Structure 1
């Protein structure tokens, strides 16, 4: 089996989801090594946590997490014995961490200075990016992996093809186009997050125009403008890009970064003798 570190790097580079399984507690007559890890993909195992029925059961749980698209970490406590093919008792606690899952689908409208600073940042995250502009010459020669460039003379037409729950970023070179894109995105109203580049003054103008078109004020309130974290200051393209990327990370971590409802606190999973020493 390949080393789990190199296997994890390879799978992440390929964009293939996997689960990292780690022994975080083991007590028994023939203890395994706490800290041992293995990586489970849909079709392969990398490295080992000691083999046997426990490893087989861990593989089954990990692949079930992959099949159902679980994003949160999971802790499982196993009592060693006949159920796991062990002759003696003991307890093992395993940590399951989904890795390489796509956290967000992002549509970036605009390949100007800020777009060119932002998209490489987004590409380094567990995201898939659609980068849309009407001007092919604005895209850089080297496009980051995980980014699909789309040239369309009518960028608004691309809104209809966005996946539900998409993160939408509008930062084109044209205020009129920004307004049409905003109207199309808000009309769908099934996005996870929508940010529009601009000032508070631009937001007020857009709110008036959208209200005149009959948009519900509660829907318009979902628009982030100005966008980005307020604590990240600066007007340079990279400073704006970092601010916007930080807000997107914070948003998708709320949606995907929490432990699953079935994950119990670790103290409840550890053997009573160990808890009493804490």
Structure 2
């Protein structure tokens, strides 16, 4: 079995388009009910084809059982698949399944044919809310087309309401050096829409950029000044003057969610002094986190610095942002 490399936080319909290829059908599995402890939350979903999967509903025996039933159902339907085939699985996460969670989950299995995916594909590049019937027969329909980030999946009597994608927070990472490269590898599949900024294209690693936007900018501070007001910013460039210019652009505009700067206590003190002389007020300076990263990690190895920054970002997001589950 091969795990799909498509961003798990991306649009699941786009992922289904990719997975189905020449296959007859793909199964869409989504957790529609959780009682007690479970490895994933309400609305967690995955796709299952004969040889690939996309995303996860928790791994372990739960996921294995769902995959087995999904592939069995696809084979039973065979070449007669016309879509709209569904089944609700009731799964107890106890000793019989080899799991210790102790909770119970319900998983909706939907078998999607080529025709089903083609019909849904018009929603593959945007966030809409779909109503998924629990029984076979009725088609999946659009319930809402707005991008309400506070919207949460929920179960109705005869259907389950689920957005086509998770709403991601914009994250601007300035610097494609050792720490930047390590950081992007760690967080590229989390709840961030990553904009990776550097002055030199050669600094970026070769290969796919499907999980982040690469931005080559002669003046990264200009990018910072035009970022959305709900963005997170991580400043880890190779240049202190460049770091300072980006900090000034962000703090002077004062429209961002979080701003973190790599550095020592000495760099922190010097930057605050210089920025203050440049006109940044004390209240604005309080919004700059330097050094960025959690206190428990003190190593200066690039990958550990990146882990520390990633942990800080996750804490910021979990405690201050409204997460869509």
What interval of TM-score do these two structures reach, taking the shorter chain for normalisation?
0.5 to 0.7
Provide TM-score, normalisation by structure 1: 0.68
Q: Which residue of 2 aligns with 1:177?
A: 242
Q: Which residue of 2 aligns with 1:37?
A: 108
- 1:187-221 deviations in whole A, cap 9, x for unaligned? 12111111100011111111111111221211111
Shift in alpha-carbon separation, 1:77–1:99, aligned structure 2, 3 A:
closer
Displacement after TM superposition at 1:69 (Å)? 2.3
Shift in alpha-carbon separation, 1:183–1:63, aligned structure 2, 3 A:
same
Q: Which residue of 2 aligns with 1:194?
A: 259
Structure 1 residue 165 and structure 2 residue 230: aligned?
yes
Shift in alpha-carbon separation, 1:236–1:63, aligned structure 2, 3 A:
farther
Q: Which residue of 2 aligns with 1:214?
A: 279
Shift in alpha-carbon separation, 1:17–1:180, aligned structure 2, 3 A:
same
Higher mean C-alpha displacement, 159-168 vs 220-229:
159-168
How many residues are paired up? 228
Structure 1 residue 106 and structure 2 residue 185: aligned?
no
- For the 8 Å contact 1:22–1:38, the answer to whether it is kept is no
Question: 2 CA distance for matches of 1:180 and 1:194?
Answer: 13
Shift in alpha-carbon separation, 1:165–1:172, aligned structure 2, 3 A:
same
Question: 2 CA distance for matches of 1:197 and 1:233?
Answer: 13
Name the Cα RMSD after superposition: 3.7
Q: Secondary structure at the match of 2:146?
A: helix
Q: 1:228 aligns with which of 283, 289, 293?
A: 293
- For the 8 Å contact 2:179–2:306, the answer to whether it is kept is yes
From the two aligned structures, give the one with the greater helix fraction. 1
Question: 2 CA distance for matches of 1:148 and 1:75?
Answer: 32
Shift in alpha-carbon separation, 1:50–1:154, aligned structure 2, 3 A:
same
Which has the higher Rg, Structure 1 or Structure 2?
1
Displacement after TM superposition at 1:232 (Å)? 2.9
Question: 2 CA distance for matches of 1:165 and 1:152?
Answer: 21
Provide TM-score, normalisation by structure 2: 0.59
Q: Which residue of 1 aligns with 2:10?
A: 15
Higher relative contact order (CA 8 A, sep 6+): 1
Could you tell me which runs of 5 or more consecutive residues in structure 1 were left unpaired when the two chains were aligned: 1-5, 26-31, 79-83, 85-93, 260-278
Could you tell me which runs of 5 or more consecutive residues in structure 2 were left unpaired when the two chains were aligned: 14-28, 36-87, 91-105, 113-119, 125-129
Question: 1 CA distance for matches of 2:34 and 2:9?
Answer: 28
